[in-house]
Chains A and B, each alone.
Chain A
């Protein structure tokens, strides 16, 4: 039972490059989320999805794009990476309730 997985776990990229972070869950949860974690800020919501083909912005969506063509996948794309997007990114999923289950995170460094 894999639960929720993220790939890659670590990524170094250059400013201006496009980067896609992957998230996959095996629970068939309706809701999926992307957060970024920065020192002193806790977790901030980037985007969320209530179901396949339904996505919406969170607190800090600028510079990010998401899609959700299948229930189990929720990729996050940085179209043109900037140094300010250096962070740890967490994907989470949830059923119709309010409890979220988190993946192990992706540490992204933009040079």
Chain B
């Protein structure tokens, strides 16, 4: 069965610093990969997705992610973090609509 691992439960970065959130997946074929963000008290918002093609995908809010098949990873990056980026981030993997698996999430704290 497919699974998703987000190794970092909590990350703290300074405002303006770069960010990388890790995501590793286990799946037999190339899955569809997603990153979602959840602000406190809110639902999840899709940041970006990878289906196929270019392994570097751009998303909203200045985020990007890179699919690395050899490492089974789909890490999320942002070159300069803003205070408003403080939230919980979820990586998800899916082969189809009814079998999406989410990671446990990484909580991002931004220091002023």
Q: List A residues at the B interface (Cβ < 8 Å).
A: 4, 31, 33, 35, 40-45, 48, 50, 56, 58, 90, 92, 94, 97-105
Contact = CB atoms under 8 A, between A and B. Distances in A.
Nearest to A40: B104
Interface stretch (B10-18, B39-47, B62-70, B71-79): B39-47
A40 B102 CA distance: 11
Given A42-B102, A50-B97, A50-B98, 16 more contacts: A4-B43, A42-B4, A42-B90, A42-B103, A43-B90, A43-B92, A48-B97, A92-B44, A97-B97, A98-B51, A98-B96, A98-B100, A99-B49, A100-B44, A102-B45, A105-B42
Main secondary structure of the interface of A (DSSP, over half): strand
A104 to B, nearest CB: 5
B100 A42 contact: no
A97 B100 CA distance: 12
Contact residues on B (Cβ < 8 Å of other chain), bracket: 20 to 34
Nearest to B6: A42
Contact of B46 (A33, A58, A101): A101
Q: Which 9 A-B pairs have the closest CB atoms?
A: A102-B43, A42-B102, A43-B102, A102-B44, A42-B104, A104-B43, A48-B98, A98-B32, A31-B97
B104 A41 contact: yes
A105 B98 contact: no
Contacts of B46: 99-101
Given A42-B103, A43-B102, A98 B43 contact: no
